[in-house]
Every structure is written in structure tokens, then in C-alpha cells.
Amino acid sequence: MSLLTSHKEQFLKWINEKWQGEKKCPVCKENNWIITNDIFEMYKSWGTNRIKIGGERYPVIGLVCNNCGYTLFFNPLIVGLPMSNKEEKENE
């Protein structure tokens, strides 16, 4: 799902409330983050190099260091984002 500008603003507000201390990248020590444009799914591999069809999967939003590429993942359900743009439009 593509993130709307309102989703990114909501995520930015949430991360600023939750992130304690300096918001520096642990790798390069820069404070230059970008939010991914989409919600992705991470799949559990079940101990192999294969994805199990129908296996567990987790939605994630990436927060990427724009200097070195280090990426943090956050669960959009915990953030409180809708899981489809359709839900967002229905609530307007």
C-alpha cells in the first residue's frame, strides 16, 4: 500500500513522540531520515530460504537513513495507520 502524505505526517508525529534521545543513525551518526513511500510485508521464513505460502507476515514501514541506508522497521498497526487507502477515504 502506498502511504499518503497524511500517513507520513501521522507516522512522523508518532515517531517523534516515541523516539527518546537523539535521533541519530547508529551507523553513521547522521540525523537525515526518510520514510518509505509504501507499507511492506515481511515474511517469516520458517528456518529455510523459502517463503511458506500462507505463512506469517508482518506489515512494516521503513525509516531509512538518507546518508548510509541503515533502515528501521515499524509496524503500521502499532502506529495506528489504516491498512488500505480505501479505509482512509471511507473515514473522510
Over residues 32-78, the pLDDT tens digits come to 999 999 998 887 766 666 666 666 788 999 999 999 999 999 999 99
Residue spans of the domains in the chain: they are 5-90
Phi and psi of 34, rounded to 5°?
A: -125, 150
Cell numbers linked to 55: 505463512
Instruction: Extract the runs of DSSP E, i.e. beta strands, from the chain.
Output: 33-43, 57-65, 71-74
Candidates 85, 19, 72; CA nearest to 42 is 72
What SS3 class is residue 4?
Answer: coil
Question: What's the whole-model pTM score?
Answer: 0.76
